[in-house]
Every structure is written in structure tokens, then in C-alpha cells.
Structure 1
């Protein structure tokens, strides 16, 4: 009696890559100085393979290709300047002022996207004018109009800057 032939269902790219992971981890552990570095190396290799998943079908020996990719990635890391773990580093890798400058640039972009009437009022407030009556006198609008436009502008800026509704401006710093 002949048994019907069973054909294994085609495996997805994610299943194929998941099957490579144990082999890549073994190789990465031999190359890397620590377990966390080995995990990073294997994961980065799998990520790069995933990004090139459309081309995987053209590779004859995917295991050998993945191992070569991991070794190349390891060699690239050796060529870069060595880095200390954060707890051993003397100075921050990025100056703290950078974050404030980036937040300021994001805020300026968000202000430029506001409607003209709201952006004008925000610019006046930024220049130091905070009295609604003085703002109304400078723009020719009523005090209530100035206050509602400022409220809408601030709400939009909080949304654009991913801040909670009603969050103080100081939380940008």
C-alpha cells in the first residue's frame, strides 16, 4: 500500500529566520565579549536579513549567508571606536543642551504650523507680552478673542509636542 505523499507547507520568512536564531546565537557567543553583546549581534543580523527578506529566496545557503553576515557585522563593530557601558562612561555621549535645542526646534516647527492669527499671538507672548489686554490692543482683537486663540494655540502646541493636555510649558525642558 502506498502512502500519500505529504508536502511540507511552505515556511514563511519569519519562520525561516527564527530557525536560524539558535545557530547565530552560538556563533555570536563565540565572537562577542559578553552575552548581551552576543544577543545584540544576533538580533541585528536577523533584523538585517528581515529587511532584505525579498531577496532571501535568491540565496542558495541561507545559513552560511547569515553566518557570514554576522561575522561581517562583528568586524564592523571592531572597526568602530570602543565604547564603555553607560555606567562606566565619564561624560555623557551627548551634551545635555542638545535635548533642549532639539525640543526648541520641534516647538518652533509646531508654531510655524499654527494658523497665522494664533502664531502671531504666541510670538507676542514669547517676546514677553503676557497681558491679554495688551495683546488685544496690539492685535486689534477683543480680549476674549485673544484668550480663546491663545488657548487653542497652546492646546495645538501640546498635541504637536506630545504633551498631556494642560501640561505646563516647563515640562518641555
Structure 2
């Protein structure tokens, strides 16, 4: 049986306050729920990546207000504008897939997990990864290959 995520409880405790502020900002139940979920997902991803946040409640409230402002700016873009065509809205299935992938990366052996986190952060050159980790480039490539194979198996791909 999977262990509960230690990040869930603090975020769950924030939900009532976030919803109250989101309802005040949007004045619409559906939009306030969407706004709250977007902020909680971003917070979860940030905390899962190892970010240390001193005052989670204050940080969450600021993130909520910033996300609301961003959505207002997005809504002001006229239809047919080039920005609208290139903009992609958050997709719940993508968010779930990301969460599953992050959990699968955490289950990898420590050396493979470290390399995969570096790749996920944008570092894709085996030579750069080798230099940053002190490993031989061949070792980096073989560990990444094993990590990717295990991730494909774990995720059923």
C-alpha cells in the first residue's frame, strides 16, 4: 500500500483559506475552485522539487493573487491574437501524469534519481551531467538508460 505523501497534509490545511480568498477574488465558484487547484498543484510541484518555503500560508496567498492576476491578463487578450493561438491551458490529465512521473522518479535508486532530476530540470548533455556529478560520461549514459527503462516499466509505457 503506498505511503501518504507528506506534502498533502499542509496543502490540504490551506484549502479552506485559499478557497475563501479565491471566491472573494473571482466571485464565481467554478473559477475560484480552478484557481485554488492551480495554486495547490504549483505549490505541490515546488515543494516536491525540494523548495523550502518558510511561511507556506503567506506564500500560498501571494501565489493565489498572482495566479488570479495572470488569469485576468490572459482573459484580456483579444480572440484571434497570436498569443491566444500559442497559449495552452493547464490540463488535469497532464498534471496527473506529471505527478505519477515524479513519484516514479522518487522510487528510482538514488544515483539514477539524481540524474533524472537534473534531466528534468533541463540538463540534457551527458558531458555536462558527467562534469556536474563527477561521473564518467559512459556511466551517466548507462544510468540514464537504466532509469528510463525502469520509468517506462513503472509507468506502463
Q: What is the TM-score with the length of structure 1 in the denominator?
A: 0.39
Larger radius of gyration: 1
Say which structure is richer in helix: 2
Q: What is the TM-score with the length of structure 2 in the denominator?
A: 0.43
